[in-house]
Chain A
């Protein structure tokens, strides 16, 4: 079971890359916990998570090879 995670904006600086894979997780709450364990600074940021291009809530189920996108709001203009 593998989930691909992509990061936008400032979050790619926080994790140091645009994309990574997380193994053995089947829901968003657990995925979020795993990410925060690896990248504790994430906890201070505001972001929304999408699965296969649909914004979802924390309790969403995940399936093998799902693509999770994590995006912060941008301020600039």
Chain B
């Protein structure tokens, strides 16, 4: 009785840590439950296999797409586009954002246009981009760039503005010049916030990528999904979704690893 109530206490008290075993167990039960439901629905004949593929069909489709090379080709195409778009966007947004957050004159120049553009859904610009640059690699990179850039610059400007003035004052009283305050205080102080921003906006970039590939494309995981839909191959759509989810998870872990490894001094969030 005492043991049971202490177990209840430990899991029903807000913010109370739970044991590793309980955490893994609960995770396995929920994950397994979803898998089980999927099996029941498909193998139990509760749904039309045309729209809802069974687990082993998805595995077979995955194997098939892997063997004929289409999965790797489309994954490669998507990765190339998202990395190019995200890299270009970050390359411009990081320095501009840092300046915008700390130099009033840069903010005065950029804020009006950035604030206008950030509320424009990038999807509204896709027809124009197709008209201007077609449906190839460059158009999709442009979609990701526009979708990511205006969010990144605002978030990084905020990171830059949040750097405590006391750090600047401390460095001034130690003899720092204005240039040294920028290079030795402002830049390192913004690094953890920039990493967090990149991690969050990378997730959004995946969304823009898939949208761009669904609308008009001849390669990529979104295109693969779209083709599968036209042929009523729901199993291939599942494969594409699962691969996208997996790649998102991997990129997130990579960002976390970079931060933990290179910025060990940053406070964990």
A and B: bona fide binding partners = no
Chain A contacts to B: CB under 8 angstroms: none
